[in-house]
Structure formats: C-alpha cells, structure tokens
Chains A and B, each alone.
Chain A
Amino acid sequence: MTSPGTSVFDRLERLLPFVTKPIQYVGGEVNAVTKPWDSVAVHWALMYPDAYEVGAPNQGVQILYEVLNERDDALAERTYAVWPDLEALMRESGVPQFTVDAHRPVGDFDVLGLSFSTELGYTNMLTALDLAGIPLSAAERDETHPLVVAGGHAAFNPEPIADFLDVAVLGDGEEAVLLITDIVREWKAAGRPGGRGGLLVELARTGSLYVPQFYDVDYLPDGRIQRVAPNRPEAPWRVSKHTLMDLDEWPYPRNPLVPLAETVHERMSVEIFRGCTRGCRFCQAGMITRPVRERSITGIADIVENGLEKTGYEEVGLLSLSSADHSEIADVAKNLADRYEESQVSLSLPSTRVDAFNVDLANELSRNGRRSGLTFAPEGGSERMRKVINKQVTEEDLIRTVTTAYAGGWRQVKLYFMCGLPTETDEDVLQIASLAREVIKAGREVSGRKDIRCTVSIGGFVPKPHTPFQWAAQLDHEATDARLRALKEAIRNDREFGRSIGMRYHDGRPGIVEGILSRGDRRVGGVILQAWRDGARFDGWSEHFSFDRWMAAADAVLADQPVDVDWYTTRERDRTEVLPWEHLDSGLDIEWLWDDWQDALAEIPVDDCRWSPCSDCGVCDQMGTEIQIGPTGVVTLPMPVLPPSPVLAGREG
C-alpha cells in the first residue's frame, strides 16, 4: 500500500494525451502552494464542483485555500470536476479523483470541502466522491474517509444533498474552515475519540456547523414536512450562519492564483464589500449575506496593488453583489483609474444599477478603453412587476439612464429581466418589448446614430429558500416558454426598432430542475442519485444537461411518494407549512419574510437599511452583527512607488 498523500501523477499522465485541454488537470499555477503531507495535522481538499475553467477563478475557494495554507498545522489543495472523457479513462485505469496541486488522491484527505454557488453542481459532487472511493452515503463512511463538508449559497438549503454530506456550513467560510480545522486536529490528536461519530458530535456542538444525520425529518400523509428535530442532545434546534465582520482584517487574496489554462475570468479580483440590503425579493444572495460590510478604500487599493504585482494580470475586477453601492465607490474608481492611468491595467466593476451615477462610473473606468457595452438590470418588464420584486426603478429612470449612456458614446446597452416572477402575466413580459423600443428610440435621438443596439437578456425565475418568494409558485416551463415566444414575436414584429433589439434567453426546462434542487427536501436526494446514475453530469452546461433524464429519475424515485416535481416547483406554500430549511438560520426573521411576501403581493416597497431606518429583517439582532459602511474620509490614495526594474542595462552596482 502506498502511503497517504502519494502523487498519482504518473498514472494520470498516461491518460492526458487522450483528453481535451489536459493543462486543466496538471496544476502548476503561479502562487499555488504544495506542502509536505506529513508536515501538517489537517489536510483539506477544496472542490469547486465544476470544470477547472469555471472553478479555478472562484474567489471563495481561492480565499479558503490561502486562509488554510497560511496555517502551520493545515494544508489545502484544490480539485475540480473532470470532464466525461477523463472520467471514463480514470475509471478504466483506476485513477482516483485527484487534487491539481500535488495530484494527491482526494480520498486521503481529512476533509473534502465543496463550495456550491449553484445546485447544478450536485451531480459533479457525486462523480468526485465516487472517483475518490468515498461512499456516497454519509452513513456508510468510517474514520478512514474524509469529512464531506458543503458551503456556498446553495448550502443554505442542503437538504436535497443531506444524505451525501457530513456537514454543511452556512455563510462566510473563512472562520468556519478554521473552526473545523481546530476540531479535526484536536480529535485526531486525542486518538479519534468516538470514531467518526465522535467527531461529528464535536462539530455539531458548535451550533454553527450543521450535521444533517443528527436531524430527523417527519412527514405528514399529504407529503408536507411535519417537523425537523435533532436526534441528539448536542445538535441545536437551529443552526446559525457565519458572518465575517471587518473585511479589512481579511485582506485576501494575498497571493492570487494565476492559472496556465484559459479560464472564464482572467483577472485579479477584489471583493469590495459583502452583503446587499437593496431587498430585491427574488435575490437569495442579497437575503442570506446581510448585513452589508464594506472594505475600506485603502484596503481595496492595497489588495489591488499587491495582486497586480504578484499576478501580472491586466484587469482588475471590483466585485460585490452591486459594486456601485459602495459608499466611496466614486473615489475608489477615480483613485484606481488615476493610479493605473499610465499602465495597461483596466478596471471593471459589475454593477447593473439603473442610474446615471452608474454610467459616470463606467465612463471613469473606461477612460482609456473602448466603450462597447453597458448592462442594466430592471429585472421586471412592467412598473407593476418591479414593485412586486422591490426593484425600485421607474421607466423614466431607465430611459434617462440609457440616454446618458448612449450620449456618453456607449453603443450597446444590455438589459436583464426575469420571466416567471410571482403574479406575472403575459402583459408584464410583453412590456419588455416596449421598454426596449423606448430605449432604442431615446438612444437614436441622443446619439444621432442608427447603429446603436439594445439586447434584452432574460432568465427564468426560480424561487429560492430564505427569500420572501420562498413560498411562491414557480411558473411551469411550458408557460415560461410561451411567454418568451410571445415576447420574441413582439420584438420581431416591430418594424421600426426590432432590428436594433436582440433577445437572449434559455428555455424554461433547466429552471424546473434548479427549482426541485433549490426548494427540495431530503426526498430529492434519491432523485439526484438516480439522475447521476443515469449519467447526469455538468448540469450547468446545456450540452450536457438532459431535462428528460431528470424527469425520468424524479418519476421513478418519487413514484410511491405523495409528492412529485410539480409539488416541489409550481406549488405555492402557505405560512403554516414547515419549510425544509427552517431549522437553518440565516438570521432573517420568518415573520419579516412572510410580511415582505405579503407586501410584494400588495406592491408595497421596502427600503434599503443603509440609507433608511432598519427594517427589522432580524439578521443583525439574531447574529449580533451590524452594518459596516463608510465613508472613511480617505479621498486620495498615494501613488505606489516601485523600485526601478532590475533588468535595465547600464545600472550601477
């Protein structure tokens, strides 16, 4: 038997000539860390359960990788989903799931941490567990198997994958991984008291690490949940989320990874704040990451400066859920643009806010570059719809904003909308066409050109846990498709403006699968397992996704249950129903969520607690947190002073 942590690269190498883009499996990224196996007590394998090109740039994983590797008693390596071509070869020749850092078998690690930003990675997790030789069912694992831990936004309802997980972490991961490391280290040092069960008890005892097997779920005859209750005294009735306070104390990434392979984001990223309290009712990310915590302008500048020096990237992304909302964003943008004026560095800032300020910001950041496209997200096609979802944007705001954009030299405006929102009618969706018409009309007037364009991009709405819409009925895929077809017709039939309007959308079927996975309970676990056995992989990729495979799996697995796909997706829930995730505490007061749902139906807005009084969502009280925003008063940054380049000829000394 080989000793734990031995590289499998020799065996993998023989397979690589036969697969596409082998570079994604070899590691070797700039700033990657490889530590000797025996030098640490706790070994983490971190997985982003998608292809390398999507997973490698993920900020969450990169930060945890660094936070863990900075500790003397831990090491962390990364693993990603392998494409089906390599999976087949690995099965044939018995090569296990491996990390890309030192090509160690994932099954040798103490902890396998998975970061789920979407539920569509669940089947890739099963492939990885299986290739790693880890039993899929948590109940069948013993002390020799890694602890399987899930985090990320999808972990706020881990019930559909509860059977496969040992632990789920809600909220920010930085402190949570350190806490888990401490517990695992102590348990190992003490001679693993109580075996695997003993470790799980220690984890559950913290109150902030969810151990699904310590909870029993009872059902009513009609299929609804009767109650979810802990089956051990150490497991709390409710498990709370982690909230990282004071982002400046966590200046990561300090050593950003630079992959050799091409990835979806070729840039240096810095998170300028966490959380969002705009209160868009469809937005799970905004609801579960409250309150807002900003990084200071100097904190941002330091990370950017250090990151560029260590990576050689030419693009900087200022990330957050709505970057224009940073209290000092104008100074941040101007200062960084000034600092990097002379270089080839470009700055980007994901913000889809519909206002002139956002256009000013984009102008500032594109000082040196081409003004190709700007994106705004009104989300709802009609005024009424936008009131329902609490997107406080009027048609006037939108027209004024795009006018400023086209006048500033931007040629293309992209507008994001959703289809299938609660209370939506055909008319609400058709309004997207008239809105786009008005946009082009205004654009042609102000720019005096006919070649300006507007693209409407439409996503299907999927109700998510821990949002006011968690009780809502999802629109079935036939109705979604019919509405989108009608909208497409309307745009095509517009002789005057239709040619300037593009439309991008997907059919409604993947949204239904996402719907079951998002609001499902433990009974959905069997469906995931069956779909995976039938070949489901890479469900986020349209070329790999099969709706029929999922429906067949659901029909087979749920056949003798009082529930089915519609029950999970298109059924509206009432206030008394126990939701599968109610024992998982995001801090949001369920009464507040319900009232907000009722306000949505009554088209009543709720304001942002950054600029208006606290609306008592419950988070700060429950979690002992507070809003952390500027201004800090720092308005200009000193220019970075670089020592002269050592490569110049004729230097003294």
Chain B
Amino acid sequence: MAPRPPERDIAPTVQKLRFRYAKRGRLRFSSARDFQRALERALRRARIPMAYSAGFSPHPKVSYTNTAATGVASEAEYVELGVTRECDPVAVRDALDAVLPPGLDVLEVVVARTKDFAHRLEASVWRIELPEIALTDLESAVAALLAADEVMVERMTKNGPRTFDARAAVVSAECAAEEAVDPACAILTLVVRHGTPSVRPDDVLSALRGVADLVPPVPPRVTRLAQGPLHEAGTTVFDPLAPDRVDEAEAARTR
C-alpha cells in the first residue's frame, strides 16, 4: 500500500503578523531565497508557532513581497507570517531578532489587521552612494534624466534582454554630497514607483549612463530606505504599517 500524506492535524492560522526587516552590511549579498531559508530556520529556533500548509511536504505560511535584489541593502523589507497561536508582536520581534544573524534585523512586528497590504507598497525610496563621482556630474546627469520624457534601458532577464522605459517610474531624484567618507561620495536619493516592468535602481543608473554618460568607477552601494504609499509631494512615502498600527492602538484602548 502506498503511503498517503500524514493525517496530521493541520493547525489553523489564528493570527497574521507583518514584519519589517533590514538587510544590512555584508548580508546585503544574500538573495531572497537565502533570506527565506534563514528566516524559516530562525522562526524554528525562536519557537514561533508558525502555520504550515497541508500535504506531503508542508511549508511554512510566509509570504514575501517586493524583495530587494541580491547586493542591495534595505531598511524596509516586508514579510507576512501566519501563526497558530496568538502571539505578542513585540515578543516575536525580540525573539526573532535575537536568533537571526546580525545584518538581518527584524525592526518591527505588527498584527495584520488590514487587507491590501501589497497595494500599499506603491513606491520605494532608494539611496544610492556613488563613490568617486563629483556632485556636479551627478546633478547634470539627473537634470538630463528628469528633462527627458522617456529613457529606454535594457536589462538581462530570465527570458533574455528586455528594453523598457526607466524614466516614467522615477517620481523624484535628489542629489547630495557626502564629504565625510573617503573617497568622497555623491548621493542620489530616488523615489521610484513600483509597476511592471519594475524599475530598479540599477535601471535608473543605466538611464543616467544613457542620457549623460555617467559611469561609476566603483560599484555603487544601493539601499532601500522605505517603501509604502506615495506621498503627494512625491519626495517620500508613508509607512505602510501605519493602518495596522492605528488599529493596534485602538485595540489596546478598547481592551
């Protein structure tokens, strides 16, 4: 007789938790899959009662959205997790952060009380450090980019090279200089709207090369500072967890 999937009780999901985490320092070189494995192991080490799917090879109910690319650091990655017992979100954050390697840091955990979280992740704020690039060169390149209606760039994808516009998604771009570091660095802060095809910081850098021949001599360091609903001014985004947190405060008051 062939074995069937175990008739184990699959404990139902009683609560959903939303996390914001950071990917920092040398661990920015971890891929989305690397983080996924690390998180699932950390959840087990921290004995968080995660919910599993049914079937032969049950897997934890964790969903990942918009993960930053390998090599890109981030202060604002989001994950949603189903648990089988009600948990205290602050205790979850502490327990999880204690067992994750430094560089993968859980910043905040809230109970998910709202829907449409993925829709709230409308845009990202990126900080791009460009060592050995003069501020004036960056400024004129950015001006040229913003002046254009469309800047076509090419990117290698799984299905071969793909050409698309990198200009329209750029909501704002600000330049600054950082003198305190050696070598001196130009800093580009971008707000980029999410969409399809998704425009990434390296696409914007390709666009700068296209419009102004700006070629960084040293690989730039890219950090996602935030993602969330786009602010009307276009220069920043709102906290996407705010709606959950508002309810949290209310829940605490009415308890």
Are B46 and A409 within 8 A (Cβ)? no
* Chain A contacts with B in 1-36, Cβ cutoff 8 A: 9, 13-14, 16-18, 22-23, 25-30
Q: Within the assembled complex, what's the spacing in Å between the Cα atoms of A295 and B44?
A: 27
Known: A14-B218, A311-B45, A648-B49. A262 touches B37 (CB 8 A): yes
Q: Within the assembled complex, what's the spacing in Å between the Cα atoms of A312 and B40?
A: 8
Are A29 and B1 within 8 A (Cβ)? no
User: Is A642 engaged at the interface, CB distance under 8 Å to the other chain?
Assistant: yes
User: Is A371 engaged at the interface, CB distance under 8 Å to the other chain?
Assistant: yes
Question: Please, which residues of chain A bring their CB within 8 A of the CB of B37?
Answer: 260, 262, 266
The interface bits of chain A over 619-653 (1 if a CB of B lies within 8 angstroms of the residue's CB, else 0) are 00000000000000000000000100111111100
User: Is B247 engaged at the interface, CB distance under 8 Å to the other chain?
Assistant: no
User: Is B190 engaged at the interface, CB distance under 8 Å to the other chain?
Assistant: no
Min Cβ gap A14→B in Å is 6
Selecting from B88-96, B142-150, B193-201, B238-246, the interface stretch reads B88-96
Question: Please, which residues of chain B bring their CB within 8 A of the CB of A367?
Answer: 6
Are A409 and B2 within 8 A (Cβ)? yes
User: Is A489 engaged at the interface, CB distance under 8 Å to the other chain?
Assistant: no
Question: Please, which residues of chain B bring their CB within 8 A of the CB of A344?
Answer: 52, 58
Output the nearest chain B residue to A30 by Cβ-Cβ distance. Answer: B101
Are A645 and B48 within 8 A (Cβ)? yes
User: Is A310 engaged at the interface, CB distance under 8 Å to the other chain?
Assistant: yes
The interface bits of chain B over 7-49 (1 if a CB of A lies within 8 angstroms of the residue's CB, else 0) are 0100000000000000000110111011001101111111111
Q: Within the assembled complex, what's the spacing in Å between the Cα atoms of A646 and B45?
A: 12
Are A368 and B8 within 8 A (Cβ)? yes
Q: Within the assembled complex, what's the spacing in Å between the Cα atoms of A508 and B87?
A: 59
Picked from A258, A370, A647, the residue with its CB within 8 Å of the CB of B56 is A370
Question: Please, which residues of chain B bring their CB within 8 A of the CB of A30?
Answer: 38, 41, 45, 99, 101
User: Is B229 engaged at the interface, CB distance under 8 Å to the other chain?
Assistant: no
Are B41 and A258 within 8 A (Cβ)? yes
User: Is A369 engaged at the interface, CB distance under 8 Å to the other chain?
Assistant: yes
User: Is A261 engaged at the interface, CB distance under 8 Å to the other chain?
Assistant: yes
Are B91 and A647 within 8 A (Cβ)? yes
Min Cβ gap A264→B in Å is 14
Output the nearest chain B residue to A103 by Cβ-Cβ distance. Answer: B26
User: Is B113 engaged at the interface, CB distance under 8 Å to the other chain?
Assistant: no
Min Cβ gap B33→A in Å is 7
Picked from A310, A409, A651, the residue with its CB within 8 Å of the CB of B45 is A310
Question: Please, which residues of chain A bring their CB within 8 A of the CB of B70?
Answer: 22-23
Are A23 and B91 within 8 A (Cβ)? no
User: Is B219 engaged at the interface, CB distance under 8 Å to the other chain?
Assistant: yes
Output the nearest chain B residue to A18 by Cβ-Cβ distance. Answer: B219
Min Cβ gap A169→B in Å is 32
Known: A17-B71, A22-B71, A645-B49. A262 touches B33 (CB 8 A): yes
User: Is B103 engaged at the interface, CB distance under 8 Å to the other chain?
Assistant: yes
User: Is B3 engaged at the interface, CB distance under 8 Å to the other chain?
Assistant: yes
Q: Within the assembled complex, what's the spacing in Å between the Cα atoms of A258 and B44?
A: 13
Output the nearest chain B residue to A17 by Cβ-Cβ distance. Answer: B219
Picked from B87, B88, B103, the residue with its CB within 8 Å of the CB of A28 is B103
Question: Please, which residues of chain A bring their CB within 8 A of the CB of B91?
Answer: 646-648
User: Is A313 engaged at the interface, CB distance under 8 Å to the other chain?
Assistant: yes
Q: Within the assembled complex, what's the spacing in Å between the Cα atoms of A281 and B44?
A: 44
Output the nearest chain B residue to A447 by Cβ-Cβ distance. Answer: B2
Q: What secondary structure prevails in chain A residues at the interface with B?
A: loop
User: Is B163 engaged at the interface, CB distance under 8 Å to the other chain?
Assistant: no
* Chain B contacts with A in 90-116, Cβ cutoff 8 A: 91-92, 95, 99, 101-103
User: Is A591 engaged at the interface, CB distance under 8 Å to the other chain?
Assistant: no
Q: Within the assembled complex, what's the spacing in Å between the Cα atoms of A17 and B218?
A: 10
Interface centre among B1, B27, B33, B101 (most CB of A within 10 A): B101
Output the nearest chain B residue to A310 by Cβ-Cβ distance. Answer: B45
User: Is B86 engaged at the interface, CB distance under 8 Å to the other chain?
Assistant: yes
Q: Within the assembled complex, what's the spacing in Å between the Cα atoms of A308 and B45?
A: 8
Q: Within the assembled complex, what's the spacing in Å between the Cα atoms of A650 and B255?
A: 12
Question: Please, which residues of chain B bring their CB within 8 A of the CB of A648?
Answer: 49, 85-88, 91
User: Is B57 engaged at the interface, CB distance under 8 Å to the other chain?
Assistant: yes
User: Is A72 engaged at the interface, CB distance under 8 Å to the other chain?
Assistant: no
User: Is A314 engaged at the interface, CB distance under 8 Å to the other chain?
Assistant: yes
Are B95 and A309 within 8 A (Cβ)? no
* Chain A contacts with B in 142-166, Cβ cutoff 8 A: none
Question: Please, which residues of chain A bring their CB within 8 A of the CB of B8?
Answer: 342, 368
Known: A17-B71, A258-B41, A260-B34. A368 touches B27 (CB 8 A): no
Question: Please, which residues of chain A bring their CB within 8 A of the CB of B6?
Answer: 367-368
Output the nearest chain A residue to B43 by Cβ-Cβ distance. Answer: A312
Output the nearest chain B residue to A644 by Cβ-Cβ distance. Answer: B47
Are A314 and B44 within 8 A (Cβ)? yes
Min Cβ gap A309→B in Å is 7
Are A647 and B3 within 8 A (Cβ)? no
Are A650 and B86 within 8 A (Cβ)? yes
Are B26 and A26 within 8 A (Cβ)? yes
Min Cβ gap A387→B in Å is 37
Output the nearest chain B residue to A409 by Cβ-Cβ distance. Answer: B2
Picked from B3, B34, B58, B85, the residue with its CB within 8 Å of the CB of A409 is B3
Known: A26-B27, A344-B58. A311 touches B41 (CB 8 A): yes
Min Cβ gap A575→B in Å is 54
Question: Please, which residues of chain A bring their CB within 8 A of the CB of B3?
Answer: 366, 370-371, 409
Picked from A9, A18, A312, A649, the residue with its CB within 8 Å of the CB of B44 is A312
Min Cβ gap B69→A in Å is 11
Picked from B38, B56, B86, B218, the residue with its CB within 8 Å of the CB of A260 is B38
Output the nearest chain A residue to B92 by Cβ-Cβ distance. Answer: A647
Known: A30-B101, A262-B34. A309 touches B219 (CB 8 A): no
Picked from B31, B71, B88, the residue with its CB within 8 Å of the CB of A649 is B88
Are B57 and A370 within 8 A (Cβ)? yes
Q: Within the assembled complex, what's the spacing in Å between the Cα atoms of A13 and B71?
A: 10
Output the nearest chain A residue to B90 by Cβ-Cβ distance. Answer: A647
Q: Within the assembled complex, what's the spacing in Å between the Cα atoms of A342 and B9?
A: 10
Are B26 and A13 within 8 A (Cβ)? yes
Question: Please, which residues of chain A bring their CB within 8 A of the CB of B56?
Answer: 369-370
Are B44 and A23 within 8 A (Cβ)? no
* Chain A contacts with B in 325-345, Cβ cutoff 8 A: 342, 344
Output the nearest chain B residue to A12 by Cβ-Cβ distance. Answer: B26
Question: Please, which residues of chain B bring their CB within 8 A of the CB of A29?
Answer: 101
Question: Please, which residues of chain A bring their CB within 8 A of the CB of B101?
Answer: 28-30, 260
Output the nearest chain A residue to B52 by Cβ-Cβ distance. Answer: A344
Are A647 and B47 within 8 A (Cβ)? yes
Q: Within the assembled complex, what's the spacing in Å between the Cα atoms of A262 and B26?
A: 16
Are B33 and A309 within 8 A (Cβ)? no
Interface centre among B38, B42, B86 (most CB of A within 10 A): B38
Q: Within the assembled complex, what's the spacing in Å between the Cα atoms of A359 and B25?
A: 48
Are A23 and B47 within 8 A (Cβ)? no
Question: Please, which residues of chain B bring their CB within 8 A of the CB of A22?
Answer: 29, 70-71
Question: Please, which residues of chain A bring their CB within 8 A of the CB of B52?
Answer: 344
* Chain A contacts with B in 364-383, Cβ cutoff 8 A: 366-371
12 A-B residue pairs with Cβ-Cβ distance under 8 Å, sorted by A, are A14-B219, A258-B41, A260-B34, A260-B37, A266-B37, A309-B45, A369-B57, A370-B57, A645-B49, A646-B95, A649-B87, A650-B88
A29-B101, A30-B41, A311-B45 are known contacts; what are 15 more A-B pairs with Cβ within 8 Å? Answer: A22-B70, A23-B30, A260-B30, A260-B34, A260-B101, A312-B40, A368-B6, A370-B57, A646-B47, A647-B48, A647-B87, A647-B91, A647-B95, A648-B87, A649-B85
The 9 closest A-B pairs by CB, nearest first: A312-B41, A312-B44, A26-B26, A312-B45, A22-B29, A645-B47, A17-B219, A649-B86, A647-B91
